[in-house]
Amino acid sequence: MTNLKTVVIAAIIVTVSFAILSFEGYSLNEIIAEELSEDKGYLFAEDAVITGMFDFSKGTEISRFEIFTQNTGFKAREKFAFTLEKIVGETPLLHEVADHDFLYRNSAAEKKDDNTFDVKIIISQGKDQKRSFSYSSCFIKDYFVVSKTDNEEGWTQGKGFAVVDHFEIQCGSYQPNNPVYEEMTAVKEIADAKSSKDYQSEQKKMER
């Protein structure tokens, strides 16, 4: 019976993990594996990876970022805003939204209503999701390209420069996610239910 419980719990962990790590038809395991296969040369403590998953009106876009900073939103009545930075690269939809918001920067209604998007920021280690944050009704508050130099082994492996996209994003709503805790809770609930069922079955056998 103990072995059966172990097998059931292991199967539950896999199922719950897959459900948590999926987004708009994408498996986070596949995304992270693809990201890790590309050696970008940047060192992160504990092999952390920052992945941004964007849902635009024109399609979805997934990209790795080097810097993610939550600026405001934790305190009551604060606006939900965060900063993303990455080496200038293949994010055409994100660039298009930034250009659009620049064009309509003096018209808040057109900027927000016509071109808002949703974002999920995922922080992972290897193929395991550790923390994620879901934002909706977002727009680009500020965008610029900046050249940065290394500060004690920073953007490059030696002394050098990096051309960086800097995005400041503001959103209408925000939801923090704790996938590790959610998985622990789900597994415990199923295990408790299984134990209760086993107990009831044993009690019936004893009554006979």
Q: What is the pLDDT along the chain (208 residues), one digit of tens a residue?
A: 444 344 333 333 333 333 334 444 555 555 555 554 555 556 777 788 999 999 999 999 999 999 999 999 999 999 999 999 999 988 999 999 999 989 888 766 555 556 899 999 999 988 888 899 999 999 999 999 999 876 655 666 666 788 999 999 999 999 999 987 877 886 655 555 555 555 455 555 555 5
Residue type for position 22: S
pTM of the model: 0.70
DSSP conformation letters of 61-127: EEEEESEEEEEE-SSTT--EEEEEEEES-S-HHHHHHHHHHHHTTT-HHHHHHTT-EEEEEEEEETT
Give me the pLDDT at residue 150, please.
67
Phi, then psi, of 186 in degrees rounded to 5: -65, -45
Give me the pLDDT at residue 185, please.
80
* Cβ-based neighbours of 152, under 8 Å, separated by 6 or more: none
Q: Which class for 76: exposed (0-12), middle (13-18), buried (19 or more C-beta within 10 A)?
A: exposed
* R_g of the chain computed on alpha carbons: 22
Give me the pLDDT at residue 29, please.
57
Give me the pLDDT at residue 115, please.
80
Give me the pLDDT at residue 88, please.
93
